[in-house]
Amino acid sequence: MPPGRESVVSTTSQSGEVPARSKRADALRNQQTLLAAAAEVFVTSGVDAPIREIAAKAGVGMGTIYRHFPTRSDLVGAVYRHQVEACAEAGPSLLASAESPLAALRQWIDLFVDFLVTKHGLANALQSDNSGFAALHSYFLDRLLPVCAQLLDAAVNAGEIRPGIHAYELMRGIGNLCIGRDSDPRYDPRRLVELLLQGLQRPQSS
């Protein structure tokens, strides 16, 4: 083998791996950007918004969207999962950074209410496909129930809220309070959610 040939082959092999990893990372970032853009467009223009509007928001061509998501239901489902993941990942971060477990719970519930009020149209759009909607609903519960339970347990252990409330009960109750927001802009579910949280708090000892 001529001098230097081995090093050239090795370098070529290594240089082939790095761009591949970089390409995968770039593709993931681009997909996350696309999903975030689609979520924003869905909130302002509805889930039937033109694909070109989403493409313009994300700064990509329409072909890129169709390549990743061949149908609108594919895109809606991906955006729904993306938003659920953001809500799920926020829980531990808030618990680590907030001044107290109760403060973390309040901030997370505010995010959860925002998800229900602004993103529920994503779920509604999928109800025509019962099997797909059922799978997404299960995914929603599987990802968010443990996060809510973790925040509740931390607040109970800190003596900030009463024991005995279950994560499913709290999330279901908040969900019921958010119903009707679209049909009546005068109704602010956050005010009633705040009353619910006040009822969960332990009385302050004098």
- Residue-wise pLDDT for 89-143, tens only, equals 999 999 999 999 999 999 999 999 988 887 766 766 666 555 667 788 889 999 9
Same domain, yes or no, for 54 and 85? no
Which amino acid would we find at residue 14? Q
Closest CA to 42 of 77, 85, 89, 91: 77
d(CA 75, CA 68): 8
Distances (CA, A) of 94 to 60, 139, 188: 32, 22, 24
Q: Kindly report the CATH number assigned to the domain that includes residue 90.
A: 1.10.357.10
Among 12-26, 73-87, 140-154, name the one with the lowest average pLDDT.
12-26
Q: Which of 55, 70, 85 is the last residue of a domain?
A: 70
Between CA 112 and CA 148 the distance in angstroms is: 10
pLDDT at res. 133:
72
Give one word for 63, left, alpha or beta, with left for phi > 0 and alpha for psi -120 to 50: alpha
d(CA 60, CA 71): 17
Rounded CA separation 149/145 (Å):
6
Give yes or no: residues 20 and 86 share one domain: no
Domain containing residue 1: 1-70
With H, G, I as helix, E, B as strand and everything else as coil, classify residue 201: strand
Instruction: Record the tokens describing residue 85, joined without a space.
Output: 């993941």
For residue range 18-69, list pLDDT tens digits in order.
Answer: 466 665 777 777 788 899 999 889 888 888 889 999 999 999 899 999 999 9
Complete DSSP assignment for 16-47? HHHHHHHHHHHHHHHHHHHHHHHHHHHHHH-T
The contacts of residue 42 (CB under 8 Å, 6+ apart) are 49, 76, 79, 119, 121, 122
- pTM, two decimals, is 0.78
Q: How far apart are CA 161 and CA 153, in angstroms?
A: 9
Task: Answer yes or no: do 125 and 154 share one domain.
Answer: yes
End position of a domain, from candidates 70, 85, 105: 70
Determine the residue type at 166. Answer: H
3-state secondary structure of 127: coil
Dihedral, CA atoms, 47, 49, 55, 57, nearest 10 degrees? -90
Say what angle helices 101-125 and 5-45 make with each other, to 10 degrees: 80
- Based on the fold, state whether residues 104 and 43 are members of the same structural domain: no
Q: Are residues 76 and 62 in the same domain?
A: no
For residues 115 and 190, give the distance between their C-alpha atoms in angstroms, rounded to a whole number: 12
* DSSP 8-state secondary structure symbol assigned to residue 129: S
For residue 173, which amino acid is it? G
